[in-house]
A and B are shown apart, each in its own frame.
Chain A
Amino acid sequence: MDNVHDMGGMQAFGPVNAEPEDKEPVFHADWERHAFAVTMLSGFLGKWNIDMSRHARESQNPINYLRNTYYENWLAGTQTLLVDAGLVSPKEMASGKAEGSAGIKAPDAQTALDSVRGAGGPIDASAPVNAAFAVGDRVRVRTFHPEGHTRAPRYVRGRVGVIDRCHGRHIFPDTHSNAHVEDHPLYSVRFDATELWGPQGDASSVVYADLWEPYLERA
Chain B
Amino acid sequence: MPHDGHDHDHTEPPSDIALRVKSLESLLIDKGLIDPAAVDAMIDRYEHQVGPQNGKKVVARAWTDPAYLQWLRDDPVAAIGDFGFNGRRGEKIVAVENGPKVHNLVVCTLCSCYPWNVLGLPPVWYKSAPYRSRAVSDPRGVMAEFGTTLADDVEVRVWDSTAEMRYLVLPERPAGTDGWSAEQLEKLITRNSMIGVEKAKSPADVKDDA
A interface residues with partner B (beta carbon < 8 Å)? 5-11, 13-19, 21, 24, 26-31, 33-38, 40-42, 45, 50, 54, 57-58, 66, 69-70, 72, 75, 78-79, 82, 87-88, 92-93, 96-98, 100-113, 115-120, 123-124, 151-153, 155, 167, 170, 173, 186, 188, 193, 196-197, 200-202, 204-212
**B25 CB within 8 Å of chain A:** yes
> Are A16 and B125 in contact (CB-based, < 8 A)?
yes
> Are A103 and B21 in contact (CB-based, < 8 A)?
no
> Are B157 and A206 in contact (CB-based, < 8 A)?
yes
**B39 CB within 8 Å of chain A:** yes
A98 to B124: give the CA distance in the assembly, Å.
33
**B154 CB within 8 Å of chain A:** yes
> Are B24 and A123 in contact (CB-based, < 8 A)?
no
Q: Which residues of A contact B178 (CB under 8 A)?
A: none
A57 to B27: give the CA distance in the assembly, Å.
21
B interface residues with partner A (beta carbon < 8 Å)? 1, 15, 17-18, 20-28, 30-35, 37-43, 45-47, 51, 86-89, 91-92, 109-112, 120-121, 123-125, 127-134, 136-140, 142, 145-146, 152-165, 190-192, 197
Q: Which residues of A contact B142 (CB under 8 A)?
A: 16
A112 to B49: give the CA distance in the assembly, Å.
14
Best-buried of B37, B133, B134, B157 by chain A (most CB within 10 Å)? B133
Pick the contact of B163 from A17, A186, A207 — CB < 8 Å? A186
Sample (8) of A-B pairs whose CB atoms are under 8 Å apart: A13-B128, A21-B191, A24-B124, A82-B28, A88-B31, A96-B24, A167-B163, A209-B160
> Are A205 and B38 in contact (CB-based, < 8 A)?
no
A116 to B156: give the CA distance in the assembly, Å.
33
> Are A19 and B92 in contact (CB-based, < 8 A)?
no
Give, as a whole number of angstroms, the nearest-CB distance from A97 to chain B.
7
Give, as a whole number of angstroms, the nearest-CB distance from A43 to chain B.
10
> Are B38 and A41 in contact (CB-based, < 8 A)?
yes
A24 with B123: in contact, given A8-B136, A97-B27, A106-B33 (CB under 8 Å)?
yes
Q: Which residues of A contact B163 (CB under 8 A)?
A: 151, 167, 170, 173, 186, 210-212
Give, as a whole number of angstroms, the nearest-CB distance from B10 to chain A.
18
Give, as a whole number of angstroms, the nearest-CB distance from A44 to chain B.
8
> Are A109 and B92 in contact (CB-based, < 8 A)?
no
A35 with B21: in contact, given A5-B111, A9-B133 (CB under 8 Å)?
yes
Pick the contact of A153 from B32, B128, B162 — CB < 8 Å? B162
A201 to B32: give the CA distance in the assembly, Å.
53
Pick the contact of A42 from B33, B40, B136 — CB < 8 Å? B33
> Are A87 and B33 in contact (CB-based, < 8 A)?
yes
Q: Which residues of A contact B165 (CB under 8 A)?
A: 167, 186, 188, 210
> Are B32 and A5 in contact (CB-based, < 8 A)?
no
> Are A205 and B140 in contact (CB-based, < 8 A)?
yes
A116 with B88: in contact, given A8-B132, A13-B133, A153-B110 (CB under 8 Å)?
yes
> Are B130 and A101 in contact (CB-based, < 8 A)?
no
> Are A9 and B42 in contact (CB-based, < 8 A)?
no
A70 with B39: in contact, given A106-B33, A170-B164, A206-B156 (CB under 8 Å)?
no
A26 with B121: in contact, given A6-B109, A21-B191 (CB under 8 Å)?
yes
Give, as a whole number of angstroms, the nearest-CB distance from A31 to chain B.
4
A27 with B38: in contact, given A21-B123, A119-B91 (CB under 8 Å)?
no
A173 to B91: give the CA distance in the assembly, Å.
16
